[in-house]
Amino acid sequence: MILKNLSIDCVIFGFKDNKLNVLLWQAEPELLQKYLISKEEYQQLKEIFEKNPALKSDKYWGLIGTHLPVEEDLDVYAKKILEVATGLKGIYLKQFRTFGDAGRIPHMRVLTVAYYALINPEYHNLELSPIAKAVRWFDIDQLPEVIFDVKEIILKALKTLREEVKYHPVGFHMLPDKFTLTELQTLYEVILDKKLDTRNFRKKIQNMGLLVDTGEKQTNVAHRAAKLYSFDLEIYHQLREEGLNFSI
Amino acid sequence: MILKNLSIDCVIFGFKDNKLNVLLWQAEPELLQKYLISKEEYQQLKEIFEKNPALKSDKYWGLIGTHLPVEEDLDVYAKKILEVATGLKGIYLKQFRTFGDAGRIPHMRVLTVAYYALINPEYHNLELSPIAKAVRWFDIDQLPEVIFDVKEIILKALKTLREEVKYHPVGFHMLPDKFTLTELQTLYEVILDKKLDTRNFRKKIQNMGLLVDTGEKQTNVAHRAAKLYSFDLEIYHQLREEGLNFSI
DNA sequence: ACAAAAGTGTTGAACATACACCCATGT
DNA sequence: ACATGGGTGTATGTTCAACACTTTTGT
């Protein structure tokens, strides 16, 4: 059985073409049934879709998520949704708010527990997880038409991410394992939506002790090849726990 | 109708006797019905109480909150619960997490949207809001026996408050309108659970521009009377929005 | 040789930390 | 006069912001 008045949704952020992107989908109960829910749950879900034509439309996009089966833990299930939808494990995921205004969804009373996730778009192939009619990345500044209050949820996620990123070094999750300092800086500039001073940025980042020089360099670039860094997982976890004044 | 699988609960923090306290209650459906829910909802609530003897016990304490009526907005209703339970308006209230593990409450599947609130215990009289069998302040270090996962929720609220208080000047909500710098410092020491240097603390706080010298002083104290300050609401709101590096 | 991005250091200002004594008030 | 907590300043080290040129690589 699924809880009809409760959904879990993920705002999945990715850093792509030097822009902050969000992964949205057009869900389809038939496909969800394959991976995430049981047969009876599928029947219930279908009813919900019947009630809201917007859910079935080709025009509107929604957050990746679904209703919560009674026997599932909230956080565990959110992780499961993400894994199924992206094919990736160990994604950075954070519950950031529950949306519950009475009128937010027509004809139904649904609360949405919202999470945001940070991933690197290069690391997964959307073709490989055909769990929806359509799945696509959208530039955060050029969102398509979305269902219900999804836009509000995305904006709140963004706001929360901006706060988070100021004090905790979470940005790394959106980069490949090996990255250049310029990529890292661009990421921060995009998230915070402001220019940062290159020299000061590098000094600060390097003083954190989080970066590991891999000894490798970029290849095939028409300019001086940048060093590739990875980051020290152990120190990362330590810094995350302690809170730290990261303060970019 | 109330949503049986959804509750709203508030971790109410107060600063009392130089300790951080939490307001807990022992709820009673009969009394809730007077202020917060309708007659049919009362019937539903009674069933829930029947299922869980712990809810009716005199031994266990719980968070102030109840199930959500279908027609109510989440945040609005949380505020309403608080107002009814404390008799105070305009309380600082923040949704911090939704708890939803499958096994957290016996025999039932309930998600709890948890809020924390900051109030000044002197400003309300618990006798005046007889909405529960019992309502009482508990030192955060000496919690009584609590129902379900309430302890976990309180600890998570505390952790979130500690983070919040580091970067946003929210502590003021727990003080009287006029307070001394020593009171403010003690509050921060209690929340953060560490000693702060008086001179440095005063410098920092005063440089924030948030404090207004009321011109008044303590009276009837057996030592030099301390100046009373209030804080500048306008600058406060500005600082809250901008995020600011408060960083005590 | 040129275009394009990588990489690097210094200085002055602001802020953080550490630390010890006198002051005002009530009893 | 004494006990109690209120209130203050300085020196040192650290961190932040502002700023411009040289290096490496591919074409």
Q: Please report whether residue B160 resides in a domain.
A: no
A179 and A219 together in one domain? yes
**CATH number of the domain enclosing A45:** 3.90.79.10
**Given B3, B71, B98, which is nearest A5 (Cβ)?**
B3
Q: How far is the CA of B201 from the C1' of D9 (A)?
A: 14
Q: Please report whether residue A8 resides in a domain.
A: yes
A124 and A44 together in one domain? yes
Q: Please report whether residue B158 resides in a domain.
A: no
**CATH number of the domain enclosing B220:** 1.10.10.10
DSSP 3-state assignment of B218?
Answer: coil
Q: Is the CB of A204 under 7 A from strand C?
A: no
What is the average per-residue pLDDT within B124-132?
A: 75
Segment B9-56, tens digit of pLDDT: 999 999 998 999 999 999 999 888 988 889 999 999 999 999 999 999
| Run of H or E residues at A202 | helix A198-207
Which band of pLDDT confidence, cut at 50, 70 and 90, is reported for residue B166? confident
pLDDT at A123: 84
A24 and A123 together in one domain? yes
B51 and B110 together in one domain? yes
- Which one is predicted more confidently, A129 or B132? B132
Say whether pLDDT at A68 is over 60.
Answer: yes
B7 and B130 together in one domain? yes
pLDDT at A128: 66
Say whether pLDDT at A165 is over 80.
Answer: yes
Burial label, B111 (beta-carbon count in 10 A; 0-12, 13-18, 19+): buried
Query: Which residue among B152, B177, B194 closes a domain?
Result: B152
A206 and A94 together in one domain? no
**What percent of the residues of chain B are helix, what percent strand, and what percent coil, each to the nearest 5?**
40, 30, 30
Which band of pLDDT confidence, cut at 50, 70 and 90, is reported for residue B128? low
**What is the share, in percent, of chain B residues with pLDDT greater than 90?**
74
Q: Please report whether residue B161 resides in a domain.
A: no
What is the average per-residue pLDDT within A83-92?
A: 91
What distance in Å separates the CA atoms of residue B102 and residue B109, rounded to the nearest whole number?
6
pLDDT at A35: 86
Which band of pLDDT confidence, cut at 50, 70 and 90, is reported for residue A239? confident
Q: Tell me the residue range of the domain where B117 lies.
A: 2-152
Say whether pLDDT at A170 is over 70.
Answer: yes
B116 and B175 together in one domain? no
Q: Please report whether residue A211 resides in a domain.
A: yes
What is the tally of structural domains in chain B? 2
Say whether pLDDT at A52 is over 70.
Answer: yes
What is the average per-residue pLDDT within A233-241?
A: 78
Say whether pLDDT at A245 is over 60.
Answer: no
Q: State whether B68 and A100 contact (CB < 8 Å).
A: yes
**Among B238, B241, B235, CA closest to B206:** B235
Say whether pLDDT at B242 is over 70.
Answer: no
A238 and A123 together in one domain? no
Q: Please report whether residue B40 resides in a domain.
A: yes
Q: Please report whether residue A30 resides in a domain.
A: yes
**Among A158, A161, A182, CA closest to A171:** A161
Burial label, A13 (beta-carbon count in 10 A; 0-12, 13-18, 19+): buried
What distance in Å separates the CA atoms of residue B78 and residue B113, rounded to the nearest whole number?
9
Q: How far is the CA of B159 from the C1' of C21 (A)?
A: 38
pLDDT at B54: 92
Does residue B68 belong to the interface with chain A, where contact is any CB pair within 8 Å?
yes
Disruptive mutation site among B72, B98, B101, B240 for chain A (greatest number of A CBs within 10 Å): B98
Does residue B193 belong to the interface with chain A, where contact is any CB pair within 8 Å?
no
pLDDT at A247: 63
Query: Which residue among A94, A128, A152 closes a domain?
Result: A152
Query: Which residue among A152, A180, A196 closes a domain?
Result: A152
Segment B83-120, tens digit of pLDDT: 999 989 999 999 999 999 999 999 899 999 999 999 99
A120 and A181 together in one domain? no
Q: Is the CB of B107 under 7 A from strand C?
A: no
Q: How far is the CA of A227 from the C1' of C5 (A)?
A: 12
Residue by residue, DSSP assigns A123-186 as G--GGG---EEEEEEEETTS---BSTTHHHHHHHHHHHHHHHHHHS--GGGGS-SSB-HHHHHH
CB-CB neighbors (< 8 A) of B243 in chain A: 163, 166
Q: Is the CB of A227 under 7 A from strand C?
A: yes
What distance in Å separates the CA atoms of residue B101 and residue A152, rounded to the nearest whole number?
26
**A45 and A151 Cβ atoms separated by less than 8 Å:** no
Say whether pLDDT at B125 is over 90.
Answer: no
- Which one is predicted more confidently, B95 or A233? B95
Say whether pLDDT at A79 is over 90.
Answer: yes
What distance in Å separates the CA atoms of residue A98 and residue A101, rounded to the nearest whole number?
10
CB-CB neighbors (< 8 A) of A166 in chain B: 243
Segment B217-231, tens digit of pLDDT: 999 999 999 999 998
Say whether pLDDT at B204 is over 60.
Answer: yes
CB-CB neighbors (< 8 A) of A70 in chain B: 102, 109
What's the mean pLDDT when you consider all of chain A?
92
**Given B109, B113, B163, which is nearest A98 (Cβ)?**
B113
pLDDT at A34: 84
B106 and B171 together in one domain? no
Which band of pLDDT confidence, cut at 50, 70 and 90, is reported for residue B245? low
Q: Please report whether residue A158 resides in a domain.
A: no
The whole-angstrom distance between A67's CA and the closest CA on chain B is: 13
Say whether pLDDT at B196 is over 90.
Answer: yes
B136 and B171 together in one domain? no
What distance in Å separates the CA atoms of residue A13 and residue A21, rounded to the nearest whole number?
6
B34 and B121 together in one domain? yes
